[in-house]
Structure 1
Amino acid sequence: MKQTIDLGLVETGELTKIFDVIWMLRMEGTAIPGVIAHCAHGRRVWTISTDELSVVINGDSASFTGAYLIPLTILANAGRQNAANGDITLTVEGDVITAHSSLGKQTATCSMVAIPPTPSVKWSPSRASATLGGSNLKWTFFSGANAPFEAGLSGDDEDVSSPDHFTVEISNGVFQAYSDWTSAKLYPMRGTTSAETSGTAVVNVDPDFLAVIFQCVDSDSTWTISFDSSEPHHIELRSDTYHIIAKMTKVPVVELHERVLRVLEHEKFEHQTTESGLIGVRLDGVTVSFDFFQRESDETPMVRLSTIITRDCNESAELLREINCHNQGGSVVRLWYADGAVTSAIDLFPDNLHSLANRLRHLVREAGRLRGVLEPFAAEDALPARRTRRRRRPSTVERQPEVWD
């Protein structure tokens, strides 16, 4: 006889919170396999996750074991606005889940899954936080980041003229959101409110994050929002009921990193990525590092493809002469000597990413040719040691990425 697992009585308020999240994802065209329900610390816990968003909702008291992937329809039918069936009781028997309500019952298949790990963000001392009421939080986003009342009335293409990000900032006792709509022939906007703050930080955010704020943030709760300017990949929102982690910041270097990975996957290059984000590609026996930077002059992101031509070489006059001669010849491949090694590299900007595959192949071919040219000079006697030496080019790639070990 199959055991019946009682997930407990789920009241309308709890169901509505779940529905608001899955409806938001449906409106964005984001598909998820279902909602995971499990029990932790005597409460029912609902986990809804995508590649960019993790939403954990703490429900009412419950006591059951295991975690269950529940089809969206079961929860949507009960949680949608003005649902007539009210509270429901959920039971699982085998691979069937049943929603019992005052109107009857609905059944669907479900599956037992692993209990999802508790979501978390990497802590750092530069991470700032602001604690404030839900009404203040929503109002600040609405006032500073939502589309102006006149948006869409000018006859211009709204998708083209709308800003691709807004900005949120935490400072001393203040939380604010602001956006610039001058590209849409409108005006800049800023919403500011007082908050209990810790640290200071500023990040640019994708407009899609507004849906998370307007769908999930309830006015009566106290919320804490936190983010980090130095590692601006995740925004975290917490209340007594919700724990939300959103990867929705607009970071040009991160976006370039994602575009590069898509190119490498499309071209089927053998590659691996380290935890720090460094990409290593192996092509024709040559390992190439992909490093990401922002140009200091205008903060334009760039990716540097580099490989070491020869190691443990002497800094001889002949070697430096050959390096200078190569660099003055107008080649897209640049050379420099640092720390006993000669490195070759090509820099690419976002507008030139269509040539990434060709540039990578060219760098690998040149690496083989230059190795044969430079190794004899690298064996010559080194120049006498000098008290000070100015590097001809900053060394940002001191060794190949350890991604193949």
Structure 2
Amino acid sequence: MKVTAVETVRIPRHRQQLWVQVHTDEGPIGLGETCIGPATVEAHIHETVAPHLLGTDPLRTGHHWRRLYDTFVGYGGTGAETRGLSAVDLALWDIRGQADGRPLYEVLGGRVRDDIRIYNTCAGYGYGRGNAGALLASDRATPGDRGLPTADRPGPYEDLEAAIRRPGDLASDLLGQGITGMKLWPFDEYAAATAGHDISPAQLREGTGKLREIRDAVGDSMDVMLELHALWDLPTARRIAEATADLGLYWIEDPLKADDLEAVARFARSSRVPVALGETLGTRWSFAQLLDRQAADVVMFDLGWVGGLSEAQRISAMAETRHLPVAPHDCTGPVVLTASTHLAVHAPNAVLQETVRAYYTGWYRDVVTELPQIADGRIAPPDTPGLGTALRPDVLDHPDTTRTVTALGDLR
């Protein structure tokens, strides 16, 4: 089998996303995905990745990963090169599964569980779907930026709005669907005024009050994750952690930016609540530093940013040697969710799979042919070969869709 073409797909209504299709001479087409800065990633794929892959055996995933990683000017991180590598790596694993006639979890080594528990990240339909707004990290829960609803309401799950205004009702609604974990960010709106360097007692009370409403409504039936989105400095993040310490939080996520893992480790040592960290890190070398510094209790990664499925599998094994769980991230796209679910039922130390119900009941279904099955608060991957999903034909054929192809003949 040989790679005959590398194709990128962009859809205007999903302008943060980039899909990659790797075509072969024997029929299988592998699908990958990443998000944020798609034009930059797309340029890297056609300039650097495609010339390497074309004419080669797509089943040599480890060889391709190493060769493409070695083309980087800098190493590690989640920049355009790592995101491009991540998307292509997912596509190559998809080809391997299709070539073997087996679902991806079987190619990885088989299931250790049939399905895995999910939690709901309380985003709405518009969360992160804008252009520049998706890159802002200063006011993620304020109108006009991070996706609070307008007059156009495409469905019943405006969970960002509910998390801000009716968190107790939201928790009850999630439990009614069998979902026993929820993540929200009640302090984000206060960060912009001081660039994360201070928070007032009144703001602490108000943000903590939203979390307390969940406990008052459903007691301990709901695991509550507090997202801080790396908006705060160390002393202020500690104040937030202390203010919420009696609420039995499941974890505190991204308390600080991951550019100084020693500072995160200092936070973790002072926190009575486990720390989840890693979605903004790329490659095993960054995660080795995270593990060495004991900066996280729950290791998180995004398959579209970390270096793909190859790297996520290695990082899961590294975390297992430290007796730490992993929880794949997804607030990004349907292909990443599908691939993450395959990994989550295979990795022994996977504990939870992130989901966004506004996404997997909404725009995810508009883009791909199949999604993992979610029932009673648990998720299971498709049983068909490879990832078990593909871009919908109507998406590929839509006149607004942009498809860019680099094929073997283009390199002559």
Q: TM-score, normalised by structure 2?
A: 0.23
Q: TM-score, normalised by structure 1?
A: 0.24
Select the structure that is richer in strand: 1
Higher relative contact order (CA 8 A, sep 6+): 2
Larger Rg: 1
